[in-house]
Chain A
């Protein structure tokens, strides 16, 4: 698996990077889908395009409560941005007790990591490396590595396997302090392994 560097907020021009992703996405539609946008609607690539737009909107629309400081990303060895996430610090309650956590609001892979046709920029492992870094950030903030995310029903089993628990059936899943380290270790083992490379 590839290794990535974690980038935070103002250290990256996320708006410009999202514009680069948008241009690449349009090139792929022209090249691989014969300029037919309809063909990619409701596919993983189509969802990636919707997410590029929502992240661009978040950066320009301050009333949604997010700023550049909520943005996180991972870059590869050539400093190409490979995945972007939006996070915020939150407080969770369990049996009357409050504990802090990071909410992972959205994550978006670079378009070259989504399309079937491999590109020179394609790097495997970006999304999970970004989640891993967010878990580490939660630890460094003394939140115990606790991370909350919201996923769709078909993806729940994947997150259950890596330690997230379903909180209320809504799609909200939580990585608790007791298993946060296991997730980080699994990623390290995967990095050391070559089994899916």
Chain B
């Protein structure tokens, strides 16, 4: 416990406890139990996994194009140094 903690009031400690509980589970949103169930099942569906895979492949392709561009730049500079 530091110096600040030794002067905390019980009201402040109660606020800290509430903030701590919110951090563990914010409980914000309008989803009903039924909606949560549907989303939970959707999360594990083949369709959702395919979409994740598609996004990852798109990012991978973009990075590969960037890498190819960097390699081409590197080659040009090396060649110009050899001239």
Contacts and interface: CB of A to CB of B under 8 A. Distances in A.
Interface of A: 13, 15-16, 19, 22-23, 25, 37, 41-42, 44, 46-47, 49-54, 56-57, 60, 104-107, 109, 113-114, 124-128, 131, 149-152, 154-155, 157-159, 161-162, 171, 186-187, 189-190, 192-196
Interface string B45-77: 000100110011001000000000000000000
Interface string B1-16: 1101100100011111
A13 B22 CA distance: 26
A19 B40 contact: no
Contact of A106 (B16, B28, B52): B28
A46 B44 CA distance: 12
B39 to A, nearest CB: 4
Contact of B19 (A171, A190, A194): A190
B12 to A, nearest CB: 7
B4 A192 contact: yes
B1 A19 contact: no
B29 A124 contact: no
B40 A158 contact: no
Contacts of B43: 22, 25, 49-50, 52-53
Contact of B25 (A56, A57, A114): A114
A33 B50 CA distance: 24
Nearest to A158: B18
Contacts of B26: 107, 109, 127, 131, 155
A196 B24 CA distance: 12
A37 B36 CA distance: 14
Given A159-B22, A162-B22, A194-B2, A50 B27 contact: no
A41 B16 contact: no
Contacts of A154: 27
The 10 closest A-B pairs by CB, nearest first: A155-B27, A161-B18, A50-B39, A50-B36, A53-B43, A53-B39, A106-B29, A158-B18, A127-B26, A107-B28
Point out which of A13, A155, A157, A171 has the most chain B C-beta atoms below 10 A from its C-beta. Answer: A155
A19 B55 contact: yes
Given A158-B18, A162-B22, A151 B27 contact: yes
Given A106-B29, A193-B16, A195-B5, A126 B21 contact: no
B83 interface: no
